């Protein structure tokens, strides 16, 4: 996707999210299941829907989901449908016209629902960054047993993934957001109620690694934490997941953060891949 197209889609997505107060569409998974049946003859569409449904099923079971493909319909999907219908039904057959009209009419909403999967995850599970089981395993291997602190853990998906992979981690979150979000009352692992700065003050002498995922856009708590880390005498590994100059973290943080590139970081990002318009990544920050 070229930058101009992405910017246009992001603008539209933000507009749609504002209009719905960021609430997930009613019966989201039921609707996706209906689309799965409707597009049964189109493998490129089915694989996208199946990934969404499978991710939801695993999360409902208290498990981390698998890596997602990019949840965007193929550019040529209308042409593919038209060609398939013409090959299936003789010219002028009303059955073909009915199928074509039904499928082509469904495409705009299906596209919207696929692009809105993150909104569904936020509303249903309190999952902002998409934490998959393969990524959690890769992150645990990168940390390699070093004592770890997660700040702003939210519902705890990163810490859960690390603990599932036998990595010790102290999970903390201020839990301020839970007053406005019902899903925040159902963490997936044990989380201690501490702000990011307070957690660092309490545990800095006990940990070597700090993890911060999707710090809120516009709030300088991330920059405050980075300054505290820099003022410490200890050389921490500071792992940040977010969208640079985008949907997460403050401008002050991105303006002042030193981002380190390494083969290890690239390997982590092979497992932490974009699935929608948000281009969040794993960073090592100094």
pTM as predicted: 0.88
Q: What is the structure's pLDDT at 185?
A: 63
Q: What is the structure's pLDDT at 186?
A: 81
Q: What is the structure's pLDDT at 178?
A: 67
Q: What is the structure's pLDDT at 26?
A: 55
Tokens describing residue 78: 């209308």
Q: What is the structure's pLDDT at 181?
A: 63
Q: Are 167 and 138 in contact (CB under 8 A)?
A: no
Question: Residue 77 CA to chain centroid, in angstroms?
Answer: 25
Question: What CATH number should be reported for the domain whose range is 133-285?
Answer: 3.40.50.150
Q: What is the structure's pLDDT at 176?
A: 81
| C-alpha torsion sign, points 211, 281, 269, 52 | positive
Q: What is the structure's pLDDT at 175?
A: 87
Q: What is the structure's pLDDT at 130?
A: 98
Q: What is the structure's pLDDT at 179?
A: 63
Domain ranges of the chain: 3-125, 133-285
Question: Which residue, 216, 280, 229, is CA-closest to 256?
Answer: 229
Name residues of the chain where pLDDT drops below 50.
1-25
Q: What is the structure's pLDDT at 180?
A: 64
């Amino acid at each position: 996707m070229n930058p101009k197209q992405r910017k246009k889609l992001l603008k539209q997505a933000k507009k749609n999210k504002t209009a719905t107060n960021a609430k997930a569409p009613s019966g989201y998974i039921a609707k996706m299941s209906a689309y799965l049946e409707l597009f049964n003859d189109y493998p490129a569409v089915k694989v996208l829907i199946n990934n969404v449904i499978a991710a939801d099923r695993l999360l409902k079971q208290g498990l981390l989901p698998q890596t997602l493909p990019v949840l965007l319909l193929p550019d040529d999907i209308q042409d593919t449908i038209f060609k398939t219908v013409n090959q299936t039904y003789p010219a002028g057959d009303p059955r073909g016209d009915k199928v074509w009209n039904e499928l082509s009419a469904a495409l705009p909403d299906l596209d919207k629902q696929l692009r809105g999967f993150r909104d569904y995850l936020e509303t249903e599970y309190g999952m902002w960054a998409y934490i998959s089981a393969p990524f959690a395993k890769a992150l645990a291997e990168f940390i390699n047993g070093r004592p770890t602190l997660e700040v702003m853990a939210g519902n705890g998906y990163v810490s859960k993934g690390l603990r599932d992979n036998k990595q010790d981690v102290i999970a903390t979150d201020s839990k301020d957001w839970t007053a406005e979000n019902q899903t925040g009352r159902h963490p997936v692992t044990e989380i201690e109620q501490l702000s990011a700065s307070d957690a660092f003050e309490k545990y800095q002498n006990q940990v070597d690694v700090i993890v911060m995922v999707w710090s809120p856009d516009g709030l300088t708590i991330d920059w405050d934490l980075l300054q505290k880390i820099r003022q410490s005498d200890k050389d921490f590994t500071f792992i940040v997941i977010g969208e640079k100059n985008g949907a997460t973290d403050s401008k002050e943080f991105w303006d002042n953060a030193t981002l380190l590139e390494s083969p290890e970081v690239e390997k982590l990002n092979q497992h932490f891949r974009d699935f929608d318009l948000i281009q969040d990544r794993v960073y090592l920050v100094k």
